[in-house]
Amino acid sequence: MDKKINEIKIEFEVTPLEQLDEILDKYRNDARTGVKKIIKKYESEKVKLQEEKIRTENMKIYETKYKEYSYICGIDEVGRGPLAGPVVASAVILPKDCSILYINDSKQLTEKKREELFDQIMEQAIAVGVGSIPPGKIDEINILQATYEAMRQAISNLNVTPDLLLNDAVTIPGIAIKQVPIIKGDEKSISIAAASIIAKVTRDRLMTAYDKIFPQYGFAGNKGYGSKEHIEALKKFGPSPIHRNSFINNFI
């Protein structure tokens, strides 16, 4: 007796995309209209999966170019522009045969997808390091120097020493390791994109935690950036201990 269409639909839903060919072949000759619709939908998913594999391979162009290096490390930061909270940097060394799909510039991803990829990267990476510079230090040494310091921290927190750094646009002072600065690197290098995801999720989680301590500023939503509501709260309540005093002179 043929399976009910709803049962077939569930079977497709629980099948990993990588195993689509097998299940598509299984039901391809089913003449029922409902099954044909399911087949059409997942044929489209198969095409999208193939396109994603190609996109991901294209993001390995620098990793391939420098393949003679054993440990290639992507470096990126998040949080240069906010009025509050730290600047956070991440250093990520992915395995050369990394097969994680959908890694991209963190700004191009939904929060849900970033969270999913964060877990995959943390599980599969050879090494991950994170660095964070607090608001007071940012005020003291300026945001550019704080960014460099966060990056140096991230590198020092790796449990494997990289022999090549792929950086998002910058050359980090005080680092002896060979560096390759790449403009818009988080869109072009899978290693830098992975670092951007780790840095973004780490900082977002931290700002969400700060929201519970300082709820009046809406940090869970604005992550410390200068939204209209944030600026209004800043004018009403004054700065919190995690505001960057050098960034808020125009608002208080």
pLDDT along the chain (252 residues), means of 10: 84 85 89 91 90 95 97 98 98 95 95 98 98 98 98 98 97 98 97 98 98 98 97 96 95 81
Tally of structural domains, the chain: 2
Please check whether residues 70 and 173 belong to one and the same domain. Answer: yes
With respect to residue 77, please indicate whether it lies within any of the assigned structural domains. Answer: yes
Burial classification of residue 57, based on how many CB atoms lie within 10 Å of its CB (0-12 exposed, 13-18 middle, 19 or more buried): exposed
Q: What CA–CA distance (Å, rounded) separates 52 from 39? A: 20
CA 241 to chain centre: 27
Torsion of CA 133, 243, 119, 130, to 10 degrees: 0
pLDDT for 19: 83
CATH number of the domain within which 160 lies: 3.30.420.10
Which of 171, 191, 208 represents a domain boundary (last residue)? 208
Give the global pTM: 0.90
Please check whether residues 15 and 84 belong to one and the same domain. Answer: no
Which of 208, 224, 246 represents a domain boundary (last residue)? 208
Please check whether residues 85 and 36 belong to one and the same domain. Answer: no
With respect to residue 249, please indicate whether it lies within any of the assigned structural domains. Answer: no
pLDDT for 157: 98
- Identify the CA nearest to 79 among candidates 199, 227, 205: 199
Please check whether residues 113 and 157 belong to one and the same domain. Answer: yes
Please check whether residues 24 and 148 belong to one and the same domain. Answer: no
Please check whether residues 90 and 161 belong to one and the same domain. Answer: yes
In this structure, the strands spanning 179-182 and 164-168 are parallel
Please check whether residues 66 and 163 belong to one and the same domain. Answer: yes
Q: Which domain, by its residues, includes 19?
A: 5-58
Please check whether residues 32 and 70 belong to one and the same domain. Answer: no
- Identify the CA nearest to 130 among candidates 79, 186, 76, 91: 91
pLDDT for 20: 85
pLDDT for 45: 87
Q: Side-chain half-sphere of 129: how many Cα atoms within 13 Å?
A: 20
pLDDT for 212: 98
